[in-house]
Structure 1
């Protein structure tokens, strides 16, 4: 029944966390971005529903239909000056001050489109936003967060963030440059089974490099079972930091692929740039492009104080087939039971898998399979790098719902794990297995666990 407002438990099964018994349920019945001050059975827009939720104690569940919800109330740019951040949910982005859950009917069919007028959501301190089964697109900001800016708590489940951007167009040097082409997180962010694709941070006139083509994190971040694909960070000086993710907070990422993300020529961290605390497990970095630097970079290229605090642990990670260095370290880096091979700078025709830069805090490797490149990284197992995709790994492909490099039968990574292993691989399938048929069970290196034969 369209356009009704009542208290219900009907969506308990659809949310990651159970609803409170008195959760308010609202059903949006128009795609127009309208606001007459109230959400009624006869007329309730998304903006009106969010305003009602902001004014209602406890959690409010807002149900969306199949179709496109366009942002239409522009936040004007007064006389060419920097736009004002309006926080009353009257114009521009949707301001969340309460406990709001939005439930769509699928990321491909329920879409929120900011129409390049603003970002879509601003979650304020103390507020909570849950998004499920919907898509966010068309966001644009010169401040932080092309689609979503978070200072509270946000949870994404089966959400697609596509073609959102931070675009700093003010005259150089723009001192207020934004970060996070899709999301800028300064609070608590959880991402589950979601996709970041074709998001951009254009720091064109910024005084500092654009950070986070898809996601900028300065808070607490958890990512599971997700994909970062074809995102880009750039700026006027051909830099950009973190084509997929720039982390300067605390990040815990697992069962996630970073593929075809990019920074410009002098940029760093085509897939991930870490200047905080990061744990990456059972994940794949492939096809990312950083001409002079790396796909995964730990530490900051010109701020030693950030390198000193940069700590990363990579467990069962495959870093292969990237353009540029696979791994570059300036901070404290631990590689456990991982593969770094088949990475090369195509412009220079050089194999570039792993490098530790002068002044790096520490580098440790346990169970590392490394393609030979003449660099200064040490590993237990070395392979001829030219054989990476003929004897060690298959090309990147979807396998059991995850984008991975499956192990070939002849791979040196099979049953080569050292010490403690994770209990599953990137696909969520069990480790450990006897992958080579010798009767001994041990885990494989990298994100993929092979079963014999």
Structure 2
């Protein structure tokens, strides 16, 4: 057992590239062992320098690029065929001639997908070798040398006699993944695919680990009857020689319960990864990993939350968002990402965090850290003020403190920042963004979160320029601000929020302003629907209960540019059912073919008595600036009160005031 590998564990029958562990066929004691370091292929310093120079020269010369391309293109690839030698055994061995031939075709496949001059030079500089690699390894890439296992880890290679087409793989799963369940191709590992994968490493591409990426040529898992090809432009931006797969250590926890070093737990794996001076991956099976070792403010991961330190990139790979769950069981926060650390969470759920001694119950991303979320849920986490005066507690799901958080297919749901007892404030139920953070999330759902301010998200003022946030295809629904900013509260005057497509819907500010959105800074909305949000006034001490404004959006001093989209069905107990602009600047830009519709909004929406309220669709104060292009107002309502009676009317001031 490798000292840095907790256990070889297969979640499904497959063969993994690049030394990733799987459970293999039974082998007796006479089976070949892994080669010692001195047996591994090496590149001497002079050869390495020469190949590096080749890359630099090629990048600088277009003529060199063409010459290289000509040199690696088979003259008549379809006419060539290849054979194996030593075919007497059950698993025929590979010979050098065959390997070089298939490698030449693989190079051409990468060229066809699109490579630049330096990448082409790198491909032409690769040398190929055959070795009896350690169990589970089909191939490795180190520097400019690719080594291929002699017999595909005992499963046998499929060598395509016509490797320039995919006719042996009749099932096209996608443009890059082909399968077959018949013939010779179904019985062995496709040599072309393995070479393409290892060439990708030489080009600087990392392994693809998510189950959603099975059609990626860089996907780590592989079995008989499969062919993967590079997608168009896949190598764009990759830097040849920048990735060394030998530095990626793999840890596989063996138990779901909590435990310290040497127990095989998730905590054990993280402690080991923190100690390894390499990039690491922790592979998690389907199931719930529950934390139980109590102890707060311990900074090495031995108790309480799981501490991830700055010691190379750490990937935590689950089996699926709903299949792999990491649950703090209300013991402490779940993850603490230390200053400068880099971590990728993939295909899992983070839940059950609780703390009242700090912020960020699900995750704390500290100064300078980088967090990537792919197919991840952050759910059911709670941060709570202790019963102590003048104490704040923020960020139920996530606290980003001058960190960078990116991701796709992210769900931030049912998290809470709760003001309890004599505590002062609790903001950012789903996420609290402080300092100068950078947030970029695609296909993100923020729903069911609650806080005193900013039920979904809360952005604080920055230190040197404010936070930058981009949300693409965002669903910001059903969040609650107990005071204000039900869906979103951008309190950062220098912060800039951009939302490209999505909805801000059915959010509630229970006692003040901005049912959907409360803003001090800069907001860009592109194709966003703002609908069915409410700015309520639930303070029963005020019998009128009509002071809350901006049902859909409340803009105080900020700048808002809305391009396309609509503002519909929002309500304010006070003024500005759809939109309220105090002293800021608002620009709404529609087109003749995509008019912004402001309709069915209502000001003065409380059924009880109250003063007259204006601007059912949009309310702008005398000091605010509004510029409207292709905007329509339809069926917006206001309450008009006289002699103790309240009546809902349309007309003057109902649409825009």
Q: TM-score range by the shorter chain?
A: 0.7 to 0.9
Q: Which runs of 5+ in 1 are unaligned?
A: 76-83, 234-239, 300-306, 388-453
- 1:350: Cα distance to partner? 7.4
Corresponding residue to 2:554 among 319, 328, 338: 328
- State the distance in 1 between where 2:315 and 2:330 align: 24
- State the distance in 1 between where 2:387 and 2:299 align: 22
Q: What CA deviation, in whole Å up to 9, does each residue of 1:349-373 have, x standing for no partner?
A: 977001111x33x222212432353
- State the distance in 1 between where 2:281 and 2:516 align: 38
Partner residue in 2 for 1:384: 634
> TM-score, normalising length from structure 2?
0.51
Q: Are residues 44 and 332 of structure 1, via their aligned partners in 2, closer, same or farther at CA, if it must alter by over 3 Å? A: same
- State the distance in 2 between where 1:385 and 1:88 align: 60
Corresponding residue to 1:258 among 471, 476, 491: 476
Partner residue in 1 for 2:314: 100
Whether 2:504 is the aligned partner of 1:285: answer yes
Whether 2:586 is the aligned partner of 1:363: answer yes
- 1:207: Cα distance to partner? 5.2
- 1:9: Cα distance to partner? 5.2
Q: What SS does structure 1 have at the residue aligned with 2:269? A: helix
Which deviates more, 118-127 or 209-218? 209-218
Whether 2:447 is the aligned partner of 1:229: answer yes
Partner residue in 1 for 2:487: 271
Whether 2:269 is the aligned partner of 1:53: answer no
Task: Write the mapping of 1:151-162 to structure 2, written as runs, cut at 5 A.
Answer: 151=366, 152-162=369-379
Whether 2:19 is the aligned partner of 1:8: answer yes
Partner residue in 2 for 1:448: none
More strand by share: 1
- State the distance in 1 between where 2:433 and 2:472 align: 16
Q: Which runs of 5+ in 2 are unaligned?
A: 10-15, 22-205, 219-242, 461-466, 536-550, 591-595, 600-615, 621-625, 638-657
- 1:314: Cα distance to partner? 1.1
- State the distance in 1 between where 2:481 and 2:518 align: 15
Q: What SS does structure 2 have at the residue aligned with 1:54? A: helix
- 1:107: Cα distance to partner? 1.7
Q: What SS does structure 1 have at the residue aligned with 2:264? A: coil
Q: What CA deviation, in whole Å up to 9, does each residue of 1:237-291 have, x standing for no partner?
A: xxx2211011232111110101100011xx2221111122111111211111113
- State the distance in 2 between where 1:319 and 1:8 align: 49
Would you say how many aligned residue pairs link Structure 1 and Structure 2? Answer: 351
Task: Write the mapping of 1:8-407 to structure 2, written as runs, cut at 5 A.
Answer: 8=19, 12-14=207-209, 20-22=244-246, 23-35=248-260, 37-38=261-262, 43-75=263-295, 85-97=297-309, 98=311, 99-142=313-356, 143-151=358-366, 152-174=369-391, 177-186=392-401, 187-205=403-421, 208-218=424-434, 219-233=437-451, 240-248=452-460, 249-264=467-482, 267-274=483-490, 275=492, 276-291=495-510, 292-299=512-519, 307=520, 310-324=521-535, 325-330=551-556, 331-345=558-572, 348=573, 352-357=577-582, 359-360=583-584, 362-367=585-590, 368-371=596-599, 373=617, 375-376=619-620, 379-380=628-629, 381-385=631-635
* Conserved 8 A contact 1:191-1:223: yes
- 1:378: Cα distance to partner? 5.4
Q: What CA deviation, in whole Å up to 9, does each residue of 1:78-135 have, x standing for no partner?
A: xxxxxx5221111110110132111111121211110101011000012111111111
- State the distance in 2 between where 1:20 and 1:115 align: 38
* Conserved 8 A contact 2:386-2:423: no
* Conserved 8 A contact 1:370-1:379: no
- State the distance in 1 between where 2:404 and 2:257 align: 30
Partner residue in 2 for 1:400: none
Q: What SS does structure 2 have at the residue aligned with 1:53? A: helix
- State the distance in 2 between where 1:8 and 1:165 align: 40
Q: Larger relative contact order (C-alpha < 8 A, sep ≥ 6)? A: 1
> TM-score, normalising length from structure 1?
0.72
Q: Are residues 159 and 344 of structure 1, via their aligned partners in 2, closer, same or farther at CA, if it must alter by over 3 Å? A: same
Q: What SS does structure 2 have at the residue aligned with 1:51? A: helix
Which deviates more, 134-143 or 204-213? 204-213
Question: Which structure's CA Rg is the greater one?
Answer: 2
* Conserved 8 A contact 2:373-2:406: yes
